[in-house]
Amino acid sequence: MPVIHIHMLEGRSEDQIIRFMEEITCITVERLKVKEDQVRIIIHEIPPSRWAVAGQVKVNKK
């Protein structure tokens, strides 16, 4: 049973996240030849103040 963890910045709509999980499930079923009900997806939404790239925090700058 595949368990897929996805870490991303928060801020996407519920509809976007649901659609994303549906698409990831379809790809996983196709590529790994598993049943849909075996796929688990966990979305970890990270606040921008807790995400850095090259030492630069991804806080929304105004």
Q: What CATH code is carried by the domain that includes residue 48?
A: 3.30.429.10
Q: Under a CB-based contact definition with an 8 Å cutoff, are residues 58 and 10 in contact? A: no
Return the pLDDT at 59: 80
How many structural domains comprise the chain?
1
Taking the model in full, what pTM does it have? Answer: 0.83
The answer as to whether 62 is a domain residue is no
Catalytic site includes residue 48: no
Catalytically annotated residue among 2, 20, 24, 43: 2
d(CA 47, CA 34): 33
Encode pLDDT of 4-51 as tens digits.
Answer: 999 999 999 999 999 999 999 999 999 999 999 999 999 999 999 999
The answer as to whether 31 is a domain residue is yes
pLDDT at 58 over 90: no
d(CA 49, CA 45): 12
pLDDT at 62 over 50: no
Where in the sequence is the domain holding 45, given as residue range(s)?
3-57
pLDDT at 61 over 80: no
The answer as to whether 10 is a domain residue is yes
